[in-house]
Each structure stands twice: as structure tokens, then as C-alpha cells.
Copies of this chain bind each other. A is one copy, B any other.
């Protein structure tokens, strides 16, 4: 098929796309193709206005009274409840605050406290590093009481012995995009007497999630990817209602049952609020809320359908490049096991990602050799996929990647 025909076909699919209207709700420069929404989501236009209001009116005019008057105090819970609607959780089971890493620590220690006598924290090798690092920090501090272990990704369920207190897994793998069956894994872990913490950083807003249906224990996730909450956005933590008597180690004053009584002893709040710690990050929360509000306007089923269709189109268009230039699919083909991204391995992966940037395509490189293309159905068009592969072909045909300055490696998730 020629480029023109392809473009016409893509334009037709864009015209029929029920989600097409959402693209205009984001600030996206003409010409730019942004395939890194799973590192940092694009800016919703409403966010700038909302932040300007929070700053000038709520902070500038309301000052300290805005903690109650502008509902800053309850923002972590209110936004958590909104995220809960995306993730199949109940009201009062999610709180938005702190970073993903800090929330992993809270979830790990809370889950540990519910499994006395069990010493192992289990994850998979190749998990996103911070998940395992946080486990290792707990091991180091525990003085031998806790062990952090990882197993081969395909064998992690076989490693569920009677010493495992907590299994920490990412539902959608950050590099391959492989999706874990949350209900099945949770059931197996429960059968082995362990609790599960799900890292939903690449799931929330990208694929349908049903925490309640999966009988999930704990979950954490990131606000700045598919939730479009902004750089370093507050993260969130899910604790099933049945686990909310667990006490997180990070017992800061905002997790107290009566923070403004200034009592001498820590007495955790009865519900999900005990997973708060310090004073909530109001500006970051406001941006996160704007991102979540926008996502809640879309139908998750439609998002998933389009995400898969974008991926199918991407893989179809890539086939000649795989044959000609040596790209190898590094993500799942099976829709049931595929997140909202496609990835290819290529020995020149890093340089190619750099060269694509010069053609106004932003993708992501992940060591050692993976080009990662995030597919954000809220603001990507079918024509963007066709155009991306055309520009990629140009990079390869002209060897535009062979520049000395691309040898210097630097990347940011």
C-alpha cells in the first residue's frame, strides 16, 4: 500500500474514532508525535487553568483557610475515590499522596504486619527497579527478619512457598508491556498464604482494572503516566477495606485519627487515611485531579479497544521494518497479555530513539536495547502510528541514527 493510501485509511479510522474529541483537550504541538505518555502523560489543557486558580485564589487569597475552605485536607481521599472508579475499587480504598516508591514501602510494611511469622518479600527479576529496591531497603533495615527475593518472571508463582509474606508484582511490565492476570495470580498467592501488592503504574488509565473483582489486597501506582497528572505527580495507594487495620510504618501526622489534636501518641486513622503520612502536596494533587477528571470522561472499554487497535496497526506496519532492518518485537502480541504499548529490540535502539526525536517523534529507550512506544488512546491518532513507522523507516533507510553524539547515553523514564 502506498503512503497516500495508508494515510487516507488512517484518516478514515480517525474520523470514526469515538475518542477523537479528547485529543483537543490536551496541549500537543502540531507535528509532534508523542509516544511516551507512559513515562509522562501530556498536559490536559484544563490543568493550567486549574493550577492557576489553586495558586492565585486558593493559596493567594484563601491562604491557610483553604485547608478546609478549598477542601485541600480531603483532596487525597477525594482523588483516591476518583481513581477507585478507574480501578474497580470501592470508595475509601484508595488514597492519593506521596511517591510510588514511598507508597510501595507503606504497602510492603502493612502487608508484612498482616503475615507475622513469614519473612519473605517476593518479586520478579526484571520488575521496575524501584519496587525491588524498596524491598531491599526493608531487608537491610530489618536486621535479618525480612528477606527480599526475586524469581524468574515465568517462575515467580512457583516461588510462593510458606515463607512468602508478600508478592509484589507489576501488572503491566514497564518494558515488555506484558499483562499479568490479576485475579489468577492473586488467587494463587492467597492459596499459598501470601498477600499481593500490585504495581499499577502502567495499568491505570491504560487497561481495565478490577481490584475488587480480583480480590486484591494492596496496590500502588503512579500519577504521571496514563493518568496525566504531571511530572512527579503524587502517586496512590489501594488497601482493601479488610486490610485497613494494618499499620503502615510511616506514621506521620496526616495519618493520625485526629491530626489537629496534636496528641503525643500515634493513633492511626480508622480508614484509608492512615496511609497518609506528611502534609499532602496540594499543587501536585490539583494537577493529578485534573488529569483523572479528564480520564473519567472517557469510557474505559473504548480506550482499551482503541489502544489495542493502535497496537495492531503499529505491529502490522512494522513488519517490513522487522524484516529489513532487524527490529524484533519485544512486547506481547496477544491482546489479552498486552498493555498499552509496543516495544522492539534493536541493537541500535538508543541511537534510533534519538534520531526519531529529530523527526519529532518522542519514544522511549529502555536498557539494554528496547525501543518503547507508549500508546495513549486519549490523544493518539491512527495517522500518528502510520506516520511514526514512516519516520522510523526514514531513520533506518538514511542511517540517521549513526551520529557520534547519540553514543552518549542518557534517558529518563
Contact = CB atoms under 8 A, between A and B. Distances in A.
Interface of A: 27, 29, 34, 36, 39-40, 42-43, 47-48, 51-52, 55-56, 58-61, 63-68, 72-73, 98-102, 105, 109, 125, 128-130, 132-134, 136-138, 140-143, 145, 150, 222, 224, 230-235, 247-254, 256, 259-266, 277-285, 287, 357, 362, 364, 366-367, 410-413
A134 B260 CA distance: 16
A252 B102 CA distance: 8
A281 B234 contact: yes
A282 B231 contact: yes
A266 B133 contact: yes
Contact of A231 (B61, B125, B260, B283): B283
A125 B263 CA distance: 10
A230 to B, nearest CB: 6
A94 B199 CA distance: 30
B277 A102 contact: yes
A128 B60 CA distance: 26
B263 A129 contact: yes
A80 B52 CA distance: 26
A100 B282 CA distance: 14
B250 A59 contact: no
A247 B139 CA distance: 12
B362 A65 contact: yes
Contact of A362 (B64, B130, B253, B277): B64
A229 to B, nearest CB: 10
Contact of A278 (B51, B56, B235, B367): B235
B231 A132 contact: no
Contacts of A137: 247-251, 266
B283 A133 contact: no
Contacts of A413: 260
B55 A251 contact: no
Nearest to A127: B264
A134 to B, nearest CB: 6
Contacts of A259: 129
Contact of A250 (B39, B101, B142, B412): B101
Given A43-B59, A260-B413, A231 B102 contact: no
B256 A129 contact: yes
A410 to B, nearest CB: 7
Contacts of A256: 129, 133
A367 B262 CA distance: 7
Given A52-B52, A59-B230, A109-B141, 10 more contacts: A27-B56, A43-B60, A68-B412, A99-B252, A101-B250, A101-B278, A230-B283, A232-B281, A262-B366, A284-B284
A4 to B, nearest CB: 29
B362 A63 contact: yes
Contacts of A109: 141
A236 to B, nearest CB: 12
Given A235-B278, A367-B262, A253 B133 contact: yes
Nearest to A42: B63
Nearest to A174: B262
Contact of A264 (B29, B34, B125, B412): B125
A281 B284 contact: yes
B99 A134 contact: no
Given A60-B43, A100-B278, A234-B281, A136 B250 contact: no
Nearest to A43: B60
A395 to B, nearest CB: 18
B283 A51 contact: yes
Contacts of A105: 249-250
Question: Which of A150, A252, A261, A367 is the most central at the interface, judged by chain B CB atoms within 10 Å of its CB?
Answer: A252
Contacts of A98: 98-99, 102, 278
A100 B231 contact: no
